[in-house]
Every structure is written in structure tokens, then in C-alpha cells.
Amino acid sequence: MTETGKPLLRALAGEAIWPPPVWLMRQAGRFLPEFRALREKADFITRCMTPDMATEITLQPIRRFGMDGAILFSDILILPWAMGQSLEFIHGRGPVLEPVRSLRDLARLDVGRVKEATRPVMETLRRLRGIVDGPEPIGVAQPGQVTLIGFAGAPFTVACYMVEGHGSREFDVTRGLAYSDPEFFDRLIDTLTTATADMLCDQIVAGAEAVMLFDSWAGLLPPSQFRRHVIAPAQRIVRIINERHPGVPVIGFPRLAGIMAVEYGRQTGVNAMALDTGADMKAIAAQLPSTLTLQGNLDPLRVLAGGEGMRAEARAIRDAMKGRPHVFNLGHGVVPATPPEHVGDLIRTIRDI
């Protein structure tokens, strides 16, 4: 680590850094030819659960672009898989799970399996921490620059896949069950909240310097359900992490939350809040404490298109946040068809002041 500390950790601690630190959601992904080469060698779960492969994939974008954050290569559905829910990733379709839609279904899952089942993930984090804190550069990234980020899916978003059994635009079955069988749904959310907090704490012990909570489908819920199934679980997860690992920052991402993002930022206790592409970052910042770090929120399709339009919008987002803690990122993940040179151009643009 440098004398001044890692830029991303400083920003997550509430420091306004100029230029802001930068990393990208799905920065380790199909847009990289080196990722595609590894993808041919093993299925998705095997890649996640093989430390050699997961370590290599996590570091690929760092070597090439020198981001300030290296986010663990894994998946939000590793948790239900570790609990015993069947999971398969099918090309062209995405994740397919055996649905969990009743207390009886839930009883077949075992939270006690998670620690043993995720040992390979923790080994990956241990290896990564040794590398990011090591004396050698990681490609173009200098020693002491890169922060290691762990993550998990937030309870509601993970529940969406567990109940639906596959991806969806609306998750009607899941949202319907939250109304028609609140006893089951509350139990599911409670189970996932405890398991998620425990898993994130395990990630911190293994080496994660910050953790992120992805609530990709939070915006599907009306305010009352949002408070119950998004804000309340996040509050509990953050509280547990703070109690066990004080000082480790938590980034929350209530995607598509709209105006409810303000309530999320004020009430959950997260150190930073990521905003999606549709959020007016400056307007939301004006309604939040100046110590809350904001992350985001360039449209990934801008990066796909590249060129001066991308550079201009990236500078506008960066400059609008000058003077308050900000981590530059996208509003969602890098699109697989994105040319790698566009990502390199984006990183240079953010750092060119």
C-alpha cells in the first residue's frame, strides 16, 4: 500500500479524490479476448469455484486497464447453490434453478453447507489479496493501487431467481408470492439476509477490503415492499458487517430504485451507493449526506459506442461529482460486445485532468 492509501478505499471512506477512482461492473467478462479463451475451458460454475481460474479472470482487466478496484469473479447465485439449490447456467438462457416456492421447499436447503461449499471462493480471495498487496505491478496497475472487492446478491434479488427458477424481466411469480404467502417470503428473505451477511464476513476474513451488495431487481418493488425487502435486509447486513469488521466499507446497489434510492442511501448505513444509468447523480447527491460516497453511472451502451460522445459524458459525470466522494463506474455491467479499446479510452478519460 502507498503512504496515502489505496484510492478506492479512501473514496469509500468519504474522501473526495480527484480524479476519482474507477472500476467497472462486469469488467472481467466476455468483452475481453483473454476471458473468452478461458471460457472455452470450463463451465461457469467451475470457473467460479476453481481458484486458479477465478483469480486469473479477476486480474485480467487489472492487468490490461489498471482499474482501482478488482472485484471477485463469482456470481450472486453461488449462495443458493451452496445452500443446495440446483443451479445450471445454460448458454443463451442464463441461470436455471429448481424453484423454491414454499416453506417445505425452503426446508430442503441448508445454510450450514455454505461455509464448506464456498471454501474455493475464499481461497481465491486469499490469493488475490496477496497479489494486490504484493510488491509487483499487476500489468499496468502499480503496487498498492488496487482494492479487492467482494460481493453478494442482496436477499430480494437472489430470492427472485430462487423463486422464479430463471431470469425474468418482471419476476411476477416472486412478487406475487411476497403478497400471497408472506410467511414463506419473509422466511426466505430472513434466511438469505443471515446467510448473505455471514458470507460477506467470510469474504472479508479471506481478504476482501470492501464488499458490494447487488440488488439488481430492487426497482420492481413498490415503496412499502421496497422498505420491507430491500432496505430492512440491507440495514441488517450492514449492521452485522460493521459489528464484526468495523471499518470495512459496504457498497449498496439498489438498481432502478428511482426516488427510493435516496431513502436507501439515508437508512441502510452503506458507505457508498451505486446508481444505475437512469439516476440523476447530481440531483440525488443533493439529497444525501455529503459523506456518503456515490458510485456510477455512465451508460454501458455509451462505452459500447465509444468515441467523443462517451468521453464527453464520462467527463460530465466525473466533473459533476467533483468535491464530494465519488467512485466512477457504469450504471450496469460492461456489454459483452464492447471493444476493449473503448474501455481503455474510458479509463484514460477519467484520469486525464
Residue 315 known to be catalytic: no
Catalytic residue among 68, 127, 161, 215: 161
Residue with cell string 476519482 = 20
Cα distance between residue 38 and residue 121, in whole Å: 18
Active site residue 75: yes
Q: Which of 10, 47, 64, 75 is catalytic?
A: 75
The reply to whether 119 belongs to the active site is no
**What does the block give as the cell for 185?**
417470503
On the question of a cis peptide bond just before residue 19, with omega within 30 degrees of 0, the verdict is yes
Helix (H) or strand (E) holding 298: strand 293-298
Question: Catalytic residue at 30?
Answer: yes
Question: Distance (Å, rounded) from C-alpha 44 to C-alpha 95?
Answer: 10
Q: Assess contact for 77 and 153: CB atoms under 8 A.
A: yes
- Rounded to an integer, what distance in angstroms lies between the CA atom of residue 203 and that of residue 196? 10
Active site residue 64: no
What is the C-alpha to C-alpha distance for residues 313 and 52, in angstroms, rounded to an integer? 37
What lies within 8 Å, CB to CB, of 199 at 6+ separation is: 79, 114, 118, 152
Annotated binding site for substrate: 26-30, 75, 161, 216, 332
**Which residue type is seen at 35?**
F
- Choose, from 30, 126, 129, 315, the residue flagged as catalytic: 30
Compute the distance between CA of residue 123 and CA of residue 146 in angstroms, rounded to an integer: 18
Catalytic residues: 26, 30, 39, 75, 161
